[in-house]
Amino acid sequence: MGEFRTLYLDMDSFFASVEQHENPALRGRPVAITAVDGTNGACVAASYEAKAFGVKTGTLVRDAKRLCPEIVFLPSRHRLYVQYNLRIAAILDQMAELERIRSVDEFQLRLGGAASELDGAVALVKAMKQRIATEIGQSIRLSAGIGPNSLLAKIAGKLEKPDGCQWLSPRNMPQRLSHLKLDDLPGISKGVKAKLYKARVWDIEALYRLDPRHARLIWGSIEGERFVRALQGADIPLVTTERHGYGNSKVLAPDSRPISQAYLVGRWLVEKSASRLRRDGRVAKSFSLSVSFLPEGGASLRLRCEASQDTAYFLKLHRQLWEAIWRRHRPRQAISVSVQLGDVSLLADRAGDLFAPLRPAEKTTGEKVSELVDAVNARFGKDTLRWGENRPHHGFFERG
C-alpha cells in the first residue's frame, strides 16, 4: 500500500457552475444563488466571477449589488444540484472506490494500487476532471486533495481553488499549512480553539507536535486524540455516529412567510421527519420547534414526550408549541422554520405499558395508522394521503 489512501474532491462554486452550464449565456458572468430574495436576502453561493468582486457565501443581496452591479441573481434549485451530484458520483464510482458523498458538492474516495502513490493519484485526478468536463460540461470543475486520511485530504482540497490539486502527508507537514490559522482547519471550532489557546497551543505547528494523549485531555474526549493523530498522518477511519434526531429546516420563500403559512410548512416538515423516523425503526422522546422572525428575533421551544413514531401525535405537539410562540411573541412573519424529533431510540427497545395496555416494542394504534399511510404513499405516490393541510416547501424556493 502506498503513502496515500484518500482522495477528497470539492466542486468549485458548484451551484453557480451548474446554472452556468444550464444557461450558456451566464458563462463568464458573475452569478449568485440566493436563499432569500429581495434586499434582505443573502447569497448561498457565488461564481468565481462574482467572487473576484468580493461576493461570497453569506453576502447580503444589497451588498452584492454594490460590490458587483452586473451580478445575476438566481433562486436556488436544490434538486437540480442533487441530480448533478448523482451524475458526478456515478462517474467517480467507475474510476475509484467512492467511499462517501460528503455533501452535495463534496466526495471522498478510497485510493489503492497505483493511485496510492502521488504520481498515480495526480493522474487519477486529471482523468476524473477530463471525464466530468467531457460527459457533463466544461463549466463543472473541481479541486482535489490527496492525503493519507480523510482529514488531510480535505484540508489539501481547500488549498488550491479553483481547478486545483494539492497533497498533504508527513513529508510536507506541518510546514505546508504554516500560513493557516488554527480555526482554518475543519473541526476546530471557536470552543476548541479557546481550549487550545488555554493549553498554549497557538498555531498549527504546535498542534501538529502535540502528544495525541494530551490532545484528548484538551478536547475532553477521544476526538482530540483522533484529530491530532490524523493531522500527523495516521490512517484514522471515519466513525459511524449514532443518530440522535430526525428533523429538517427551511428558509422560507416570501409567500410562505406569513405565520399562518409558516405553520403549514412546519406541519409538512413534521410529516417528513416522522416518516423517516419510522423508516429506520425508531421512536423519539422529544420534540423541538424553532422559528426565526422578520424583521428579527426568534423562538426555540422543546418538549419531552412519550417515546413515539406517530405522526398525529407529533403534529399535536407541533401545534402546541406554535400556540406558545404566538402567545409570547405575536410574530407576523417568519424567515425560517425548523422541527426536530430528538432523543431517539429503537422501537424494538421500547418498554411496554401495563395500563395502555402495550407490550414491549408493540406499535400503538396511531403508529399503525402512520405505517399504513407510509405504505399507501410508497405505492401510489407521495402525498397520496396527507395528515390534513400542509404546505410543501422543497429546496430553497423550488416548486413541485
Residue positions annotated with a catalytic role: 106
Burial class of residue 282 (count of CB atoms within 10 Å of its CB; 0-12, 13-18, 19+): buried
Q: Would you say 227 and 215 are in contact if contact means Cβ atoms under 8 Å apart?
A: yes
Residue with cell 405516490: 381
Compute how many other C-beta atoms are within 10 angstroms of the C-beta atom of residue 296: 7
DSSP-derived secondary structure for 199-225: TT--SHHHHHHS-HHHHHHHHTSHHHH
| Helices and strands in the chain, H and E counts | 13, 13
Q: Nearest Cα to 102, choosing from 140, 142, 58?
A: 142
Give kind and range of the element (H or E) at residue 293: strand 282-294
What distance in Å separates the CA atoms of residue 35 and residue 45, rounded to the nearest whole number?
9
Q: Would you say 78 and 56 are in contact if contact means Cβ atoms under 8 Å apart?
A: no
Half-sphere exposure at residue 267, Cβ-oriented, CA atoms within 13 angstroms: 19
* Strand order, beta sheet including 165-167: 97-103, 106-110, 6-11, 142-147, 165-167
What distance in Å separates the CA atoms of residue 207 and residue 307, rounded to the nearest whole number?
43
Cell for 181? 490559522
DSSP-derived secondary structure for 334-386: EEEEEEEEES-EEGGG---BTTTTB-TTPPPHHHHHHHHHHHHHHHH-TTSS-
